[in-house]
Amino acid sequence: MKLINNIILKIDEFPTLPTVYTKLNEVMAHPHASAKDVADVVSQDQSSAAKVLKVANSPIYGLIGKISTISQAVVYIGFNEVKSIVLALSIIEMFKDVKANSLLDPKDFWRYSFAVGVISRNIAIGLKIKNLEGFFINGILHGLGKLLFLKTIPDIYEKILNASREKNISVRKAEEKVLGISHPLAGQMLAEKWRLPKEIQNVIRNIYIGSVNDRYNEMVSIIHLSVITAGMLELGNSGDFLIPKINRQIWNDINLPEKFFVNNYQKILHEYQDISNLLS
């Protein structure tokens, strides 16, 4: 029990999100917020602004070279998507000092997370979902709990990763045995502390289940499938040497077009390689 209490304490004491994201939330809460209002906040942090433009101009959004200002990004890809990109970049920055261990390099974990985001958005496009907001960013952030463990208990977490391999069990089961809590729950608790949208909290908590309260959830279910796909394609490193089992009911509910992954593999790979350059 001491370890789980220690984890909960570390979550309570974890730093708040950077000011740029907090200010953006405040501005966007105003019903008459304009693209300029959003741009003014993002542009206060030149590094974030440059990366937002890089993401907005990536093949993921299909607008390569068209967006030269944050205001244009807001117009083309939407207020919420820009806010989500700022959130993802803020979290990447918060975990930039996480050290690699013998089994997991944080940069490889981010690459895997980017792959999940890219695959999720492509699946949503393949299913002709009209509102694509959130699939890419929520896919990236689904593994928040692992980052939390890597940052706060690095030595213990390396032992957990080793134990999962030695005992041929999932990292989640190894976490529960050692810590009394798994990374989906810990990640959801951190997301709740940060008051992140319920949608991303659902993704983080239910990513390996694939549903919410035993019901199909479009966002959660698609990202669940994307996690498995990224593992099978060996894009980046999730830290888990066992590929999670798919929720068969979810597979049936999603009902992907025939040969979807065969037809979209090169597109997914191109987008994945492009967005991974953010780590360089």
pTM of the entire structure? Answer: 0.94
For residue 230, give both structure tokens: 């990224």
- Of 208, 253, 254, 255, give the one whose Cα is nearest residue 227: 208
For residue 44, give both structure tokens: 């206060």
* Long-range Cβ contact pairs of 240-243 (< 8 A, separation 24 or more): 240/164, 240/170, 240/171, 240/172, 241/164, 241/165, 242/164, 242/168, 242/169, 242/170, 242/171
Q: What is the pLDDT of residue 1?
A: 57
| 138-156 per-position pLDDT tens digit | 999 999 999 999 999 999 9
Q: What is the pLDDT of residue 66?
A: 87
| 14-43 per-position pLDDT tens digit | 999 988 999 999 999 888 889 899 999 999
CB of 160 closer than 8 Å to CB of 171? yes
Q: What is the pLDDT of residue 48?
A: 85
| 174-227 per-position pLDDT tens digit | 999 999 999 999 999 999 999 999 999 999 999 999 999 999 999 999 999 999
* Long-range Cβ contact pairs of 44-48 (< 8 A, separation 24 or more): 44/20, 45/18, 45/20, 48/20, 48/86, 48/89, 48/90
Q: What is the pLDDT of residue 64?
A: 79
Q: What is the pLDDT of residue 280?
A: 64
Q: Where do the domains of the chain lie?
A: 2-15+98-279
Q: What is the pLDDT of residue 157?
A: 97
| 48-91 per-position pLDDT tens digit | 899 899 999 999 998 877 899 999 998 899 989 999 999 999 99
- Of 184, 166, 141, give the one whose Cα is nearest residue 21: 141
Please tell me the class of the 2-15+98-279 domain: mainly alpha
Question: Residues of the chain with pLDDT > 70: what percent?
Answer: 99
Q: What angle do CA 142, 120, 114 make, to 5 degrees?
A: 55
